[in-house]
Amino acid sequence: MTIADEFRTRNWSIYAQWSGIITMILCFAVGLANVIIIIRPLLVIFAALCLATSFMVLFIEVPLLLRICPTSQKFDGIIRRFSTNYMRAGIYIVLSVVQWLSLIFHQSSLIAAAIFLFITGALYGVAALRKDEFMSSKTLGGQGVAQMIV
């Protein structure tokens, strides 16, 4: 199944997963930029959280990495909790709220990460409300690809 075929399924969890990949890239970029350019000391904490969020999103959205990368069983267990649309919507909304809180200290580009985290959470929320079956993109290592490696 190609990416175009996956998008034609009209399954909102696929849209959310690809939005999550874009969000991960954005979180890494703005997190790194705000760590390097120290505007306010407390903002650096939120930037570091944004960087950590990007790696967490990477492991959530690309299940193949849990099999390839040497991670602890505890970390794997935490990441595997987010295997439903409701759980993913919840974690993205919580991560978005954390980045929105950075506005208390200073307005920065971290707001872009907050917006994209919210959009991804909303897409997973729509998938959950529509009762779409959780579907992981084959391109990103889901739907049997990870099992073929082991």
pLDDT over 70 (residue 63): yes
Q: What is the pLDDT of residues 32-58, one digit of tens each?
A: 998 888 777 888 899 999 999 999 999
Q: Where do the domains of the chain lie?
A: 3-149
Residue 84: per-residue pLDDT: 85
pLDDT over 80 (residue 59): yes
Task: Please give the full DSSP string across 52-108, using - where no structure is assigned.
Answer: HHHHHHHHHH-THHHHHS---HHHHHHHHT--SHHHHHHHHHHHHHHHHGGGGT---
